[in-house]
Amino acid sequence: MLANKMGQKMAINSSSVVKVMGSILLMGAAMSGSAEDKNASTIAIDMSELSTTKEEVAVLQVLSEICPPMLTKAQQSGFNNAYNAELKKLMPTISDPRLAVQYLSTQQDYKQILNETRQWTLSYSKADNQAVCKELAQSKY
């Protein structure tokens, strides 16, 4: 779904962006997967064993890049909690999902998805993106 919308400028209001991004972030329900240590700073993962898509992970990663500068220190703390909780939902069987994201970032196919997601996210106004960031920061976990 997200991949079909990539690169297309969608004319929707802020609440629609929040709903779309929120639904993408909340999709990590029932998953099974495995992880193995590659080294101390990454965890190699096989995405084919997860029901999570690389696009879902990329959306969350892009939000982690764009949101902190748009938020107050208190909101950043809430965002970090939400980010960690959402990563764990997307990759519940992985001991440290942040390291798994770092590993994915080294993979060529994921880099392309990540760049497309960045462009897609930046096609929205700063106000729309900030609304998504604030909503995520205010989520209760």
User: What pLDDT does 6 receive?
Assistant: 33
Domain-embedded: residue 6: no
64, 70, 73, 78 alpha-carbon torsion, rounded to 10°: -50
Residue matched to tokens 């029932």: 30
Would residue 98 be called left, alpha or beta, if left means φ above 0 and alpha means ψ between -120 and 50 degrees?
alpha
Domain-embedded: residue 19: no
What is the number of domains present in the chain?
1
The pLDDT-based confidence of 30 (bands split at 50, 70, 90) is very low
Per residue in 38-74, pLDDT tens?
344 666 666 656 668 899 999 999 999 999 999 999 9
Range of the domain at 99: 52-141
Residue matched to tokens 């590993």: 103
Domain-embedded: residue 115: yes
Per residue in 79-128, pLDDT tens?
999 999 999 999 888 888 999 999 999 999 999 999 999 999 999 999 99
